[in-house]
Amino acid sequence: MQCGAVVEDRVFRALADPSRRAIFESLSTGEAAVKELTARFSISQPAISQHLATLTEAGLVTGRREGRCVYYRVDPQGMKPLLDWVAHYRAFWTERLDRLEKLLENMDQ
């Protein structure tokens, strides 16, 4: 079980906040600038920017400057630690449940 790595923690922390998760999900439908996101979520621009900074730091989102605007989009690579983590646990439980079944066969004999 490879767990508790710094990158994973950053990803989990970033997505644990419901506001950031909503922003992230919103960006998954396409690129958007801060202004659009502010309108979409009716929360303040500084708050949106702060959430975007956290998502960027976690590697979940990337920004692209165009003139005076920064457009944000989801970075698919950013979800990899999460997917790895889930894959890891799936394999772990598959193997352990197999052992459970074998144990049950041999119990009470």
Partner 1 sequence: MTPFDKTAPSQTEAIHFEFELRHPPEKVWRALTNPVLLSEWLLPVLNQRLEAGAEFMFQAPAQPGWDGTVNCRYLEIEKEKKLSWAWVVGEIDTVVTFTLTPTESGTKLTLVQSGFKPNQQQNFGGARYGWNMMGGKLIDLLGRIS
Question: Residues in the site for partner 1, rule: CB under 8 A?
Answer: 1-5, 8-9, 12-13, 15-16, 18-19, 21-22, 25, 28, 41-43, 74, 76, 79, 82-83, 85-86, 89-90, 93-94, 96-97, 99-104, 107-108
The residue assigned the tokens 């079980």 is 1
Smallest separation (angstroms) from partner 1 to the CB of 55? 14
- Please state the separation of Cα 6 from the chain's center in Å: 14
Minimum CB distance to partner 1 smaller for 67 or for 94: 94
Structure tokens that stand for 65 in this block: 């400057």
Share of the chain residues as helix, strand and coil, in percent rounded to the nearest 5: 65, 15, 20
